[in-house]
Amino acid sequence: MSPITLILIAIGLGLAGWLIGRAKAWSFQKADPEARPASRPIYHAWYVAIWVVIPVLVFITLWSFAAPQLITQSVLASPAAADLPTFGFERQAWLSEARAVAIGLAPGVFNEGAEALIEPFREAISFYNWIGFAVTIVIAVGGGIFAFLRIRPDFGARTKVERTVMIVLLLASLVAILTTFGIFASLVFETVRFFGMVSPVDFLFGTFWGPDPMSNPENPDGSRYGAIPLFWGTIFIGAIIAMIVAIPLGLMSAIYLTQYANPTLRAWVKPALEILAGVPTVVYGYFAALTIAPMIRDAAVAVGVTNASTESALAAGVVMGVMIIPFVSSMADDSIAAVPSAMRDGSYAMGATKSETISRVLFPAALPGIVAGIMLAVSRAIGETMIVVMAASTAANLSANPLDRMTTVTVQIVKMLTGEGSFDHPATLSAFALGFVLFLVTLALNFAALRVVKRFREAYE
């Protein structure tokens, strides 16, 4: 009996409780039509429903953690488990297979030893299913009865219900804080563990990156964890090459669309730019790897540069820049539109051409907003993963040549975490340290951008 079934049962019981509660409240009204009850019947109904459903939901959440453990424990306690391998991959395999057959997902097992575990699993699953069901019913009915008994004409059901609603709303909002805290805590925790194995100095200032996930975790070689090439690659691809593409194109698009284009053109091009922003990064990555990177390599070879890589920083950077164009364009659009039209009129009245007005008056006036937009764009670019995973390299190169291979922070995070490494190995933990640095940098950029925009707004108010 899956949690979903239990939840549905709970909802069904809640509905029943709702109807019963309302019926009782109606009976008060019939008995004494003149008196005004403290709350309308519908709130009594909701009161009962809340007392039925919420305790059950709490139970179901806890049960879905506990039940699988209890089931496995009871199977392990049964005599058939004596033959089970004591640890490792095989043990897990036998257990999973037996469970799969017991549930009916698989017709048979590959490991014969698992055969014996099927029956114990069936029994345990059935047993605990009934227990879960029974407890659900008991809690639901218990809660319902408790609430039902409290219904009286003078009972302030509405206040209680509304207070519950407020608490639910507050809890929903706290999820955001919880998530931020969760991110911070998990990153810090693992990073601290990492710095216990590799010194922060080696990490932040070392220039060689070549972790070996298979090496002995007891004696990590700090010199292999120098993240400078990663930081450099990230900046070179995301903050330099991508921005060289995105800033001019984004700015000029925004300027043309706001100052020169007629409404029809605007109506077609703005959605097109939004589409550019909406294309999933995995598609960009594939496009970069499949089409752009070979094009760049062929062009480079044709010009005489023979050692250009097919995983060049240029390929990844250019495609990333194209992806970022809409961000820059829309921020620039908003900033330029926010410049008071009195500035524009003043400049035209002086006899300035459109381009002079834009470049000498509008653009400088909109500069803070545009700068903020660029910072946000950089933040987006350095946090980008798929384009670089698919088009850039995993080779940690410290080079200034855009046709060379290079890797970034995000690529290494993926690489370190999608291998065979164990969770205690410094190579795996380094991913968290990298993630923490990335988190801090993007946070800093976002804060700075916000401050710039705030100061900008003050200048006009």
Q: 170, 219, 264, 307: which one contacts another protein (CB under 8 A)?
A: 170
Q: 31, 149, 172, 303: which one contacts another protein (CB under 8 A)?
A: 172
CB of 304 to another protein, least distance (A): 26
**CB closer to another protein, 179 vs 207:** 179
Instruction: Determine if 389 is a binding residue for another protein (CB under 8 A).
Output: yes
Distance between CA atoms of residues 438 and 384, nearest Å: 11
Interface residues for another protein in 297-326 (CB under 8 A)? Answer: 322, 325
Instruction: Determine if 355 is a binding residue for another protein (CB under 8 A).
Output: yes
Distance between CA atoms of residues 333 and 20, nearest Å: 58
Residue with tokens 């829309």: 330
Interface residues for another protein in 208-237 (CB under 8 A)? Answer: none
Binding mask 417-456 for another protein (x = CB under 8 A): xx------------xx--x--xx--xx--x---x------
> Considering CB under 8 A, how many residues would be counted as binding another protein?
106
Instruction: Determine if 291 is a binding residue for another protein (CB under 8 A).
Output: yes
**CB closer to another protein, 301 vs 450:** 450
Instruction: Determine if 196 is a binding residue for another protein (CB under 8 A).
Output: no
Distance between CA atoms of residues 261 and 269, nearest Å: 10
Interface residues for another protein in 247-276 (CB under 8 A)? Answer: 248-253, 255-257, 259-261, 269, 272-273, 275-276
Q: 35, 66, 77, 165: which one contacts another protein (CB under 8 A)?
A: 165
Distance between CA atoms of residues 140 and 58, nearest Å: 11
Instruction: Determine if 173 is a binding residue for another protein (CB under 8 A).
Output: yes
**CB closer to another protein, 85 vs 182:** 182
Q: 187, 197, 313, 336: which one contacts another protein (CB under 8 A)?
A: 187
Instruction: Determine if 186 is a binding residue for another protein (CB under 8 A).
Output: yes
Interface residues for another protein in 80-109 (CB under 8 A)? Answer: 105, 107-108
**CB closer to another protein, 33 vs 263:** 263
3-state secondary structure the chain: CCHHHHHHHHHHHHHHHHHHHHHHHHHHHHHCCCCCCCCCHHHHHHHHHHHHHHHHHHHHHHHHHHHHHHHHHHHHHCHHHHHCCCCHHHHHHHHHHHHHHHHCCCCCCCCHHHHHHHHHHHHHHHHHHHHHHHHHHHHHHHHHHHHHHHCCCCCCHHHHHHHHHHHHHHHHHHHHHHHHHHHHHHHHHHHHHHHHHCCHHHHHHCCCECCCCCCCCCCCCHHHECCHHHHHHHHHHHHHHHHHHHHHHHHHHHHHHHHHCCHHHHHHHHHHHHHHHHCCHHHHHHHHHHHHHHHHHHHHHHHCCCCCCCCEHHHHHHHHHHHHHHHHHHHHHHHHHHCCHHHHHHHHHCCCCHHHHHHHHHHHHHHHHHHHHHHHHHHHHHCCCHHHHHHCCCCCCCCCCCCCECCCHHHHHHHHHCCCCCCCCHHHHHHHHHHHHHHHHHHHHHHHHHHHHHHHHHHHC
Environment class of 91 (CB within 10 Å of its CB; exposed 0-12, middle 13-18, buried 19+):
middle
**Stretch binding another protein (CB under 8 A), from 10-18, 83-91, 226-234, 352-360:** 352-360
Instruction: Determine if 343 is a binding residue for another protein (CB under 8 A).
Output: yes
**Stretch binding another protein (CB under 8 A), from 44-52, 133-141, 215-223, 342-350:** 342-350
Q: 33, 79, 88, 278: which one contacts another protein (CB under 8 A)?
A: 278
**Stretch binding another protein (CB under 8 A), from 140-148, 166-174, 194-202, 229-237:** 166-174
Instruction: Determine if 295 is a binding residue for another protein (CB under 8 A).
Output: no
CB of 78 to another protein, least distance (A): 20
Interface residues for another protein in 14-73 (CB under 8 A)? Answer: 65, 68
CB of 138 to another protein, least distance (A): 26
**CB closer to another protein, 230 vs 325:** 325
Q: 62, 279, 305, 337: which one contacts another protein (CB under 8 A)?
A: 279
CB of 44 to another protein, least distance (A): 16
